[in-house]
Chains A and B, each alone.
Chain A
Amino acid sequence: NAGVTQTPKFRILKIGQSMTLQCTQDMNHNYMYWYRQDPGMGLKLIYYSVGAGITDKGEVPNGYNVSRSTTEDFPLRLELAAPSQTSVYFCASSYRLRDETQYFGPGTRLLVL
């Protein structure tokens, strides 16, 4: 199993550009999450999904959108990128929503200039 994979590893965006961060898991997990981690900070939940077709906002959803058309994929869309979105983005998945280990992808480092 590859686990949780993310692409790209690193990206530079100009202010106002858009992009999609890809996340795929091959563990047949129902639950998937997107976090951002700013330098020296903990992880902040952006969006999460409890299954295909079902998504919900986390702590910091503004400026982002998600979709979940399949169990495996959970892309994160940035529209109109802003410098405040410079961060490292982690995708994670778990079998259950609670009491369950979250497995993290390797992360995407995004720089908005």
Chain B
Amino acid sequence: QKEVEQNSGPLSVPEGAIASLNCTYSDRGSQSFFWYRQYSGKSPELIMSIYSNGDKEDGRFTAQLNKASQYVSLLIRDSQPSDSATYLCAVGFQKLVFGTGTRLLVSP
């Protein structure tokens, strides 16, 4: 059974701080890694994708991948109240396996 593990949270950070979201996965053959953001009652939307070890930056978001440790993370710099949502980690080769998500709360 391929598994993707995330801390359910909530992770509470003040506005302007860095939020760090973590995800571990069980399938060493996984080659694609995604972070989706899901607001309450809405559908998931892609935030970041990463395929190789290291960091990938896009605006305030940085995805980090360590395949040896089977670990992927998402850093959100200068967190805003509008970042408050559930963040889903998804891992896969052909079919994605989703984690249960981490709820992030950014307080003004």
Instruction: Show the binding face of A for B, using Cβ within 8 Å.
Output: 35, 40-45, 48, 58-59, 90, 97-99, 101-102, 104-107
Contact = CB atoms under 8 A, between A and B. Distances in A.
A42 B101 contact: yes
A58 B95 contact: yes
**Chain B interface residue count: which class?**
20 to 34
Nearest to A90: B43
Interface string B82-98: 00000010101111111
Interface residues of chain A: helix, strand, loop or mixed (majority) = loop
Contact of B43 (A41, A58, A97, A106): A106
Interface in B17-70: 31-32, 34, 42-46, 49, 51
Interface of B: 4, 8, 31-32, 34, 42-46, 49, 51, 88, 90, 92-101
A40 B95 CA distance: 21
